[in-house]
Structure 1
Amino acid sequence: MEVSHKKKAYFAAILYAFIIGFSFLFIKLTLTVATPLDTLAHRFTISFVFASIPVLLGWIKLNINKNDILNILPLALFYPAMFFAFQIFGLVHVSSSEAGIIQATTPIFTMIFATFFLKEHSSGLQKISLLLSVSGVIYIFFMKGINFKSNAFIGVVFIFLSSLSFASYNVLARKMTRKYTLIDLTYIMTAIGFLSFNIMSLINHSLKGTLNLYFKPFASPLFVVSIIYLGVLSSLITSLLSNYALSKIEASKMSVFSNLSTLITMVAGVIFLKEKLEYFHIIGAAMILLGIIGTNFLDKKIINDKLDEKLENKKIKD
């Protein structure tokens, strides 16, 4: 039974990585029509509306009270609120390549936090594998070429805080999924994302005197299709998938799948945007995949279980 749950968790983690990986294509499309802040506001509005439909129709019953909301609030503040907010403001000052390098370190922070707060222990081979995966991402970005800006310090700080926020979410969600159902957790996270980004967007429009432009992006069919993908699949469904995966596998093992998302984004760019596939993409991809496999399957428990299984099979044959 445990093995079955683990398999489902890994399937959820891989599906999560694929959805997030393709989301960058849709983000690029939305940003041709709307500002980053408006995109986030509309994204989580769509997400919250779709999450609320089964609740309002009585198909799903929420089992939460005010105290539960307060308990879940820190998780939702780390992700999606702080993660996306720091990421957006950071990207104003640094390139996406620089941001990609910094965010590739998230699994390292997750492993450190998980060791201290969850008492999760990893083997030496797992640590090496995680570093291999992170190095694969950094290697690809460096080979593509990085244009460092002299005034990018504040952007680096914001992206760094974004990475810390996501690492904190990975660890906190691991604890929260033991106490609350996936539906309750995901709904509250979505609701807080909806409130956070809409308040920020409305304040921004009010200060600029552009409230009349708030819904203007929906006049574009391309924006509507893209924002539905981002709101339903890339926000709501991925929250369910990541929360489910974190309820079954260690935080450090789940976090390394964020590097797989980076790889999926690059593959999508080659397929759909006709970007050129270089030799360093293949080398980096191999490093990322080997790192993910090693991080998830080279822990002492799994190795010992495999050895025990082989010894047991040998006894039966003898």
Structure 2
Amino acid sequence: MNTLSTKQILFTYIALALAVLFWGLSFVATKIALQSFPPFCLIFMRFLTASIFFTFLLFRTGFPAITWKNLKPLLFLAIFQPVLYFTFETFGLQHTSATKASLIIATIPIVVLLLSIFFLKERVRLLNVIGIVISIFGVALLIFGGQNIEEMGGTLLGDALILGAVLSASMYMILTRKLGEFFSPIQITGMQIILGAILFFPAFLYTLPRVKWHNVTGDAIIAVIALTIFATIGAFLCYNYALTKIPTSRVSVCINGIPLVTACGAWIFLGEQLAPLQFLGEESLLLPFTWQISTGGKIPMKANPDSGILFYPKIPLLEVLLLRSDFQTH
């Protein structure tokens, strides 16, 4: 019987927490950068710089064998994330409000839960659903706690585009989980970034003439650098590492921590205020993630004869309250 040590579990969740932190704060940096650069130009600069970093890194650690068998799933991964996700999100926000978009994005864990049952055959219990519902409840309080619902605005087209971003992100998580059996986290992240930069290049050329270089500010340049180092390189490395270690349905729950980080970052750096109900929403968002970390320790594992994946049979702490996801190790 295999066991997972406390150190292994905590390292995985520290990586996941860093990814959530970096992506949450990226909205603040993006808001600053978009004052000087159009969306596709900003996205391409992020991924171009990151792809240079990962090219050197992969030369040291080893590229995956460049065959169509290997390239095809990695290309599909890059199409879903970053290309489709960022495209749907960017254009969706032009036709709907950030408030409605955030609420729709918060449904990612539900979509991932359904897809993981169908594609990955992961075991899902009622308590999984309860944990996700608590997270989404927290997102709703965080979003609606300080304003009237009728103020959200938006159109059906915008909402549909944001839903496309949800589906893209969900498929990305499923594909990463599958690819973790064949590639290292560095290989997955590196190829994802490199292929993403290549695929975004035509859109970059189209929007490049719109850049007013004389209006580019120092803050915008710093924001682009921060987005590249933390939100693109650091976050994708940490998140893909977590996806290769634990079930997709469990990892996706932590996505709802991103609005929490964004709200706190906007409060600190942009002076935006949170209403009391929004603070309650933040606590609801933290609850499932805190629970997952609190279940750390040496967890007994047993083999699933159908999938060849290892699962733990019992969680001794707080299992009556929240998630009880399957835990996989490699």
Aligned partners of 2:214, 2:316: CA distance in 1, in Å?
55
Q: CA RMSD in A?
A: 2.4
1:285 aligns with 2:287: no
Q: How does 1:1-318 map onto structure 2 within 5 Å?
A: 2-3=4-5, 4-55=7-58, 58-67=59-68, 68-145=70-147, 146=149, 147-149=151-153, 152-205=155-208, 210=209, 216=213, 219-294=216-291, 304-306=314-316
Q: How far apart, CA to CA, are the structure 2 residues paired with 1:278 and 1:226?
A: 28
Q: Distance in 2 between matches of 1:21 and 1:162?
A: 17
% identical equivalent positions: 27
Q: What is the rounded CA distance, in whole Å, between the counterparts of 1:250 and 1:17 in structure 2?
A: 17
- Native 8 Å contact 1:106 1:163 kept in 2: yes
8 Å contact kept, 1:125–1:294: no
- Aligned pair count? 298
Q: What letter corresponds to residue 283 of structure 1 in structure 2?
A: L
| Structure 1 CA distance for aligned equivalents of residues 259 and 164 of structure 2 | 19
Q: Could you report, residue by residue, the CA deviation over 1:161-212 in whole angstroms, capped at 9, with x for unpaired residues?
A: 101111111111111011111121111100121112221121345xxxx2xx
User: How far 1:296 sits from its partner (Å)?
Assistant: 7.2
CA distance in 1, matches of 2:266, 2:169: 24
The answer to whether the 8 Å contact 1:217/1:223 transfers is no
Deviation at 1:5, TM superposition (A): 2.6
Q: SS state of the match for residue 145, structure 2?
A: helix
Q: Sort the Cα spacing of 1:65 and 1:215 in 2 relative to 1 into closer, same or farther, 3 A.
A: farther
Any unmatched runs of 5+ in structure 1? 308-318
How far apart are 1:19 and its partner, in Å?
0.6
CA distance in 2, matches of 1:82, 1:218: 29
Alpha-carbon separation, structure 1, partners of 2:159 and 2:205: 26
CA contact (8 A) 1:43 1:231 kept: yes
Structure 2 unaligned blocks of 5 or more = 301-310, 318-330
* Equivalent pair of 2:145/2:276 in contact (CA under 8 Å): no
TM-score under structure 1 normalisation? 0.86
Question: 2 CA distance for matches of 1:275 and 1:101?
Answer: 19
Q: Verify the 8 A CA contact 1:90 1:155 in the aligned structure 2.
A: yes
Equivalent residue letter for 2:259:
T
1:73 deviates by 1.0
Contact 2:41 2:207 in 1 (8 A): no
